[in-house]
Structure 1
Amino acid sequence: MPSVQKQFEDFHSAICFDENDEKATLREKRNTIVKALCEKLGNDVPAFANFNQGSYSMHTGVVPLDGNFDIDVGLIFDCTTDKYPDPVTLKKKVRDAVNSNFRTVAIRRPCVTVNYLSGGEIAYHVDLAIYTKGDDGKLYLAKGKENSAEEHRFWEVSDPKELTKLVCGAFEDPNKLAQYRRCIRYLKRWRHVQLQGTGAPLSIALTVAALYWFKPNFGTSGKPVDLLAMLDWVNAILGQFTFEFIHDDGPHQRLKVLLPVEPYSDLMAMRTATQMKNFKEKLEALRDALQKAYAEDLPEDACKLLKKQFGDDFKVPEKSDTARTVSAAVISTGNSA
């Protein structure tokens, strides 16, 4: 197996969306929006509390290829679902309160999206998930668009805070947790490179897939081996595909990734048979590339294979650099013997 851990970790540094200027900018946008809501919602709308959710709070964010950074914010309104039988009514109030000349706002099925433009392009966006409380004390998420039919406007039970807790607490060992987060980011960037459009799996589906099927790999040396961790995880995901009969179309292979919290929905349910087939074929190509990289002798040859899967941010080292690394390792081993 070639020594490519440095290249994986350098790749992670390049794609990791963490504590930096962009994250500070998103916090500023979030605070501006929350302030606008407090000032403009009106006295007829109940007070609300806000919290971060999604990849921002789970520490699994990836720098987007299109530069459109985002943050997910939950707004819990201090009322029950009975106050707004039509959840889109509350979503409209939120949209109107944050609408301004400096941003565009759209009501989407799961949230209200606030877009910030730069040079005519979306540079940042904030997704506002709207919650109220049920009589049972649970949180309910507002589902539906402005022009949705009545049956598509409803309150759905949700537990975003528990989901974040599960993802963040997947491993007690900080080194294992760090590898788990790195590998989630690798697969998210792979998705951005290899799968585009509405058929791509949701980021949360990949994150939950790691929660279920990712196993850390630290090799015999006790040091992380991200190449093998990724290979094992991709094989585990492929092993979860099962055949499903759809009417008269015959059997199709599908992957189910169930939310580990209410409403326990399948995060892959909206993928068509064709989209699922494409996803599986892309995963198989990734598995094959990881296996071939593992079988290579030279890091630069392995990294050429990996770059084709993960994109240009996965760098191929110069042959002279890897030669020096191997030479240094040989000298070190001789001195310690």
Structure 2
Amino acid sequence: MANCHKFFLEFNNLIALKSKRKKTLRTSRDAVRERIRRYFRYKQNGFHPRFHGQGSFMMNTIIEPLDGEFDIDDGIYFKVEAEPSQSVSTFHRWINEAIDGHTKQDSIDKQTCVRLVYAEDYHLDLPIYYIIEGQTPYLAHGSKGWIKSDPREFIKWFNDQADDKGQLKRIVRYLKAWSDYRKSRGSKLPSGLIFSILAANNIVFHERDDVALYETLKNIKSSLEGNFVCYRPTTPAYENLLEEYSKTNKDYFLGQLASFTQSAEKSLHKDTSQADACKAWQRHFGNVRFPFESEEFIENYFQIDIRYNLKIDCLVLQKGFRPHSLTEMIVSRLPLIRGKSLKFHIVNCNVPKPFQVKWKVRNVGEEAIKRNQIRGQILNDGGNHEKIESSDFHGAHFVECYIIKNNICVARDRINVPIKLSR
């Protein structure tokens, strides 16, 4: 049975929002908060906004979408003694005025929030609430007026369902990445909120993410085929978030869910190769982001009996500079950066001739995945007992060399190639 757990972890690292990006978003969000505070200090109308982050950003299930644009939510709360006499539209207008001119694009007044648009980057959604001490908040809804809604309660509920190892949050990210891929191909799956609830209600924890996702998909499929509902577990309680799905949308979602579940089952079948398992997952995540196992292993082709010595090194070449030994650079802690020519060669080998030389180049890391350049095939030597490569992109890479004699691998060596970002 193929094991794609490590590829799912790589996939998760690729789609999850990076800490540096989160820090930038918090800084941007805090600037908007201060702008709104200043507006109400100047207005002196007795309202003093408070803020509370909500949604996937606060739950740590947010992903980097393929189109590069996503939204974060930041609730604006007004603590009051009783329901405000001002209308919902007045509160929406105030927030629109407060953030006017903060970005180049005009804000958008939506039913449930005011949206601040950062062009081709992200949206900051600003839902507005009033709250009376000890009571449930009320959301300013454009058409429904003030309605009970408590996103803070939902965050607590979700975190209570989550495990210490973070698997539930990863499963939610995988489901969102599936939805994001379908969106990039012109179709639509449920929202991240719905997927968060479905995952939390149907999660099957396992030491492997591929198995956990498959079992969770099976549970979700079984649950929805029995009763096509997704109830919000918190205020407003018992709201069916799938209630307005048309028969067409329902059938499409269930069809896609069945297809995804079948592919997951195929990937875990005992007769499925590693490469075919990756292809099965890529069908639903795309081949741009989900890793593909193309690595070959020498033991799959030859008997291993290491009885001789082999030592390889790498010359780092750049026009106008003298060559450097990669081994010496690593010992001296000199960085290997992009744009260099790399000449891997045998420096010591005591295997009696005749013999064959084979090489393997393996690229590891986010950039290798993004470029679909993980590689890992075992290739014949060109006759010079050397392999020419280049330091095209950063990440942890390695090169292995094998000596084959009488159809047996009798010597092998490996050199790590840590390529840094340009200085």
Task: Name the TM tier (shorter chain).
Answer: 0.7 to 0.9
1:75–1:321 CA distance, 2 compared to 1 (3 A): farther
1:286 corresponds in structure 2 to 260
SS at structure 2 position matched to 1:78: strand
Question: What is the one-letter code of the residue matched to 2:233?
Answer: P
2:234 corresponds in structure 1 to 261
Given that 1:129 and 1:142 are in contact with CA atoms closer than 8 Å, whether structure 2 keeps it comes out as yes
* CA apart distance, 1:101: 5.9
1:162 aligns with 2:164: no
SS at structure 1 position matched to 2:118: strand
1:322–1:34 CA distance, 2 compared to 1 (3 A): farther
Given that 1:205 and 1:267 are in contact with CA atoms closer than 8 Å, whether structure 2 keeps it comes out as yes
2:62 corresponds in structure 1 to 61
Question: What is the one-letter code of the residue matched to 1:241?
Answer: L
Question: What is the one-letter code of the residue matched to 1:89?
Answer: T
Equivalents in 2 of 1:56, 1:290: separation in Å?
A: 28
Question: What is the one-letter code of the residue matched to 1:302?
Answer: A
* CA apart distance, 1:293: 0.6
Higher RCO, 1 vs 2 (CA within 8 Å, ≥6 residues apart): 1
Equivalents in 1 of 2:15, 2:95: separation in Å?
A: 32
1:198–1:90 CA distance, 2 compared to 1 (3 A): farther
1:331 corresponds in structure 2 to none
Question: What is the one-letter code of the residue matched to 2:193?
Answer: I
1:132 aligns with 2:108: no
1:317 aligns with 2:293: yes
Equivalents in 2 of 1:15, 1:234: separation in Å?
A: 20
1:185 aligns with 2:173: yes
Given that 1:81 and 1:140 are in contact with CA atoms closer than 8 Å, whether structure 2 keeps it comes out as no
* CA apart distance, 1:319: 3.7
1:250 corresponds in structure 2 to none
2:117 corresponds in structure 1 to 115
User: Deviations for 1:144-193, whole angstroms, at most 9, x for unmatched residues?
Assistant: 1xxxxxxx23111112112101111214x512xx1111111000000111
Consecutive unaligned residues of structure 1, counting only runs of 5 or more, are 145-151, 218-223, 244-253, 329-337
Given that 1:163 and 1:260 are in contact with CA atoms closer than 8 Å, whether structure 2 keeps it comes out as yes
Q: How does 1:183-262 map to 2 (within 5 A)?
A: 183-195=171-183, 199-217=188-206, 224-242=207-225, 255-262=228-235
Equivalents in 2 of 1:187, 1:139: separation in Å?
A: 30
Consecutive unaligned residues of structure 2, counting only runs of 5 or more, are 305-423
RMSD: 2.3
SS at structure 1 position matched to 2:95: helix
SS at structure 2 position matched to 1:227: helix
Q: How does 1:66-145 map to 2 (within 5 A)?
A: 66-79=67-80, 82-84=83-85, 86-100=87-101, 102-103=103-104, 104-117=106-119, 122-134=120-132, 137-144=135-142
* CA apart distance, 1:232: 1.1
SS at structure 2 position matched to 1:83: coil
Given that 1:195 and 1:279 are in contact with CA atoms closer than 8 Å, whether structure 2 keeps it comes out as no
Please say which structure displays the higher CA radius of gyration. Answer: 2
* CA apart distance, 1:99: 1.1
Given that 1:73 and 1:128 are in contact with CA atoms closer than 8 Å, whether structure 2 keeps it comes out as yes
User: Deviations for 1:13-32, whole angstroms, at most 9, x for unmatched residues?
Assistant: 11011422x21221122111
Question: What is the one-letter code of the residue matched to 2:199?
Answer: A
Structure 1 segments (4+ residues) deviating >3 Å: 195-199, 321-324
* CA apart distance, 1:134: 4.7
1:5–1:95 CA distance, 2 compared to 1 (3 A): same
Q: Between Structure 1 and Structure 2, which shows a larger proportion of helix residues? A: 1
Tell me which moved more, 129-138 or 8-17.
129-138
Return the TM-score normalized by structure 1: 0.81
* CA apart distance, 1:129: 1.2
1:29 corresponds in structure 2 to 28
Q: Between Structure 1 and Structure 2, which shows a larger proportion of strand residues? A: 2
Given that 1:26 and 1:70 are in contact with CA atoms closer than 8 Å, whether structure 2 keeps it comes out as no
Question: What is the one-letter code of the residue matched to 1:160?
Answer: P
Return the TM-score normalized by structure 2: 0.65
* CA apart distance, 1:321: 5.5
Equivalents in 2 of 1:31, 1:269: separation in Å?
A: 36
Question: What is the one-letter code of the residue matched to 1:127?
Answer: D
